[in-house]
Amino acid sequence: MSGRYGPRYWWPADSKFEIMVGAILTQNTTWKNVERALHNLKRAGALDPDSILAAHHKRLASWLRPSGYFNVKSKRLRSFCGWLVKNGGVGELQRMQTPALRNALLSVYGVGRETADDILLYAFDRPVFVIDAYTRRIFSRLGLIQGNEDYDVIRHLFESKMGKRLSDYKEYHALIVVHGRTVCRPTPCCEECCIRKLCAFRGTTS
């Protein structure tokens, strides 16, 4: 698919921290709305852990408002920044082994498995495959998984079958999300259109 569609412009950001913030803000939310929230943070000069920790909840929530769930995301972003600072920042955390770093991320309030893996893959450059709703939907349609397996079961399946190239992990997830948007939700509206849209994935998965 990379050959056919070329590299997607994926997870644009000026810093590792911006990627991490984006990973939390994009939870069940369109990227367009996340960009607005990120823009608010930048415009306020608050796109850094210290500024976020220093801001009052009311103000932080107002910056995050466009990304939805602004009250819970304010708390989640706060807890994440607290963890980041407490552990010496990105540079220090980068020294950890991937499994330990993943467990550390999962211990943070507001960081679940998918968010943790987004951060591991796109901010810490670790070869971890991100499983999202699109991955389940597309690959269950292809008959390669049932779809309701545990997150880590599907993750290990992908990681065992696709080698270890970091760029492949980043690119494949990007392609899945970009194309997953065009695939019908759980109940196919029609077999024809779904099969046509899924054609792009055949050959890369067989």
Binding site for DNA (CB under 7 A): 10-11, 22-23, 26-33, 36, 65-66, 68-73, 108-116, 118, 122, 132-134, 148, 150, 177, 181, 185
Specify the DSSP class assigned to residue 186: S
Closer CB to DNA, 64 or 93, in the complex: 64
Smallest separation, CB 183 to DNA (Å): 9
From the list 11, 24, 12, the residue with the least C-alpha distance to 78 is 24
From the list 155, 150, 148, the residue with the least C-alpha distance to 172 is 155
Work out the number of other CB atoms within 10 angstroms of the CB of residue 164: 8
Specify the DSSP class assigned to residue 92: H
Smallest separation, CB 16 to DNA (Å): 13
Give counts: helices (H), strands (E), the chain.
13, 0
| Calpha distance 168→174 (Å, rounded) | 10
Smallest separation, CB 95 to DNA (Å): 23
Closer CB to DNA, 141 or 206, in the complex: 141
Phi then psi for residue 36, to 5 deg, are -65, -40
Closer CB to DNA, 95 or 193, in the complex: 193
Smallest separation, CB 114 to DNA (Å): 4
What is the full DSSP assignment across 100-138? HHHHHHHTSTT--HHHHHHHHHHTS--------HHHHHH
Smallest separation, CB 51 to DNA (Å): 20
The token pair that represents 134 in the structure block: 């699109």
